[in-house]
Amino acid sequence: MTEGNFVDYVKMHVASGNGGKGSAHLHREKYIAKGGPDGGDGGRGGHVIIRGNENLWTLLHLKFKRHIRAGHGEHGSSGRSTGADGEDAIIEVPLGTVVRDTETNKILFEITEEGEEKIVVEGGKGGRGNWHFKSSTNQTPRYAQPGIPLEEKDITLELKVLADVGLVGFPNAGKSTLLSVLTSAKPKIADYEFTTLKPNLGIVKYRDFQSFVMADIPGIIEGAAEGKGLGYYFLRHIERNSILLFLIPADAKDIVEQYEILVDELRRYNPEMLDKERFVCISKSDMLDDELKSEMANILDKDLECDYMFISSVAQQGLTELKDKLWNMLNT
C-alpha cells in the first residue's frame, strides 16, 4: 500500500433515521360499522452501526464519505400493521479503530474484534398506533404517537494499528530496513531523515509456522512534544504494542543518551507506554569490530536500564537471535 493510500484519521457526520408515525386509523368494513381503532405502530428508524472488518487495514474507503445517513422508519397503517424499520447504515472499519465524539473528544468505544458491532447513533423509535390507547372510557381514540426524531453526531475515527512489536527510534536509525529484512513488507528506504512518512506493518515468520506482527512508524526526535519533526501524530500506532523495540545506530554519539531521549518523549506523550516491555537493538553493528563491541557492552551493561543486542540488517547479523528474543518476550 502506498503512503498516500494509508488513511488513519477520518471525520464524518452521521445521522440515524426518524421513527415512523403511528396510525390513527379506525376500522371500517361492510357489516362492521364501528370496528374501533386499529392503527399500527410506526417502524424504527435505522441505526448507524460501526462494524469491525479484519480484511481492512486503513480508513481509505471512508476518506470521502463525510455524511452517513440511515433510513427512516415507515409509518404504521390499518389492520394494526407495523411500518417497516428503516435501513441501518453500517460503517466497516479495520480492527483497532477508536471512535470519538468530535465535539467533546470523548472516546465512545473501540473496535477490536472481527464482526464486532457498536451503535454510534440509534434510530428513532416508531410511534404507537391508536389501538394502544383505547380503553373503556375512550373507545375511539383518534390520535397516535409521532415517531421519535433522528439523532445526529459528528464523530472522528482514529486507527491504532494492532501489532505485537513496535519499532521506536530516531529518523534513519534503520527501522524500515529491519522491517524489510524480517518481513515481506516493502517500506520506502533511503539515506535521508524522515523517509518513512506513514506506518508500515509486517508479519515476522517464526519457527513451526508461527508468526508475530511488527509495526514501523516514522522516526521521532527530541522535541516532538513541541511539534518538531512529525510530532506525536503517529505514536498512537504503538500504543497497542506488547513490546517496544528501540533501534539506535551503532555510530550514535551516545547510545544511552539517545535511548533516554526516546523514553522521555514516550513518557510525555503517554506515561502508560513506559509500562510496556522494552528492548534495545544496536543497529548497523557491522561497522564495529569485536573490540569496539566489547567496549560498548561494558558501558551499556552499566548504564542501560534494559536488555540490548547488537544487530545488522544489511549484514544479516543477530536477526535469528532477535526473533528468538522477541518471541520469548511475547510468550512469557
Residue 38 annotated as binding site: no
What cell numbers appear for 260 in the block?
533516554
Query: Is 176 marked within a binding site?
Result: yes
For residues 73 and 75, what is the distance between their CA atoms, to the nearest angstrom? Answer: 7
SS3 117: strand
169 annotated binding-site participant: yes
196 in a labelled binding site: yes
284 a known binding residue?
yes
- Is 187 marked as binding a ligand? no
What span, in angstroms and rounded, lies between the C-alpha atoms of 6 and 236? 15
Asked whether residue 279 is marked as a ligand-binding residue, the answer is no
Is 115 annotated as ligand-binding? no
The annotation status of 172 as a binding-site residue, yes or no, is yes
Instruction: Output Rg (C-alpha) for the chain, integer angstroms.
Output: 29
CA distance 195 to 251: 19
58 is in an annotated binding site: no
Start-to-end CA distance of the chain, whole Å, equals 33
300 is in an annotated binding site: no
198 is in an annotated binding site: yes
Q: Is 285 annotated as a binding residue?
A: yes
Question: Who's near 167: CB < 8 A, 6+ residues apart?
Answer: 175, 178, 179, 214, 215, 216, 217, 245, 247
Instruction: Report the C-alpha gap between 40 and 82 in whole angstroms.
Output: 5
76 annotated as a binding-site residue: no
Decide if 200 contacts 6 (C-beta within 8 A): no
User: Is 195 a known ligand-binding residue?
Assistant: yes
Question: Is 6 annotated as belonging to a binding site?
Answer: no
The most distant pair of C-alpha atoms in the chain lies apart, rounded to whole Å, by: 109
> Is 173 annotated in some ligand binding site?
yes
Of 75, 70, 203, 92, nearest in space to 129 by CA:
75
Q: Is 197 known as a binding-site position?
A: yes
3-class DSSP state for residue 63?
A: coil
Of the candidates 8, 319, 311, 329, the one whose C-alpha atom is nearest the C-alpha of residue 156 is 8
Q: Is 212 labelled a binding residue?
A: no
> Is 119 among the annotated ligand-binding positions?
no
Q: Is residue 285 within 8 Å of 250, Cβ to Cβ?
A: yes
Q: Which residues are annotated as a binding site for GTP?
A: 169-176, 194-198, 216-219, 283-286, 312-314
Query: What residues form the annotated binding site?
Result: 169-176, 194-198, 216-219, 283-286, 312-314
Annotated binding residues for Mg(2+) = 176, 196
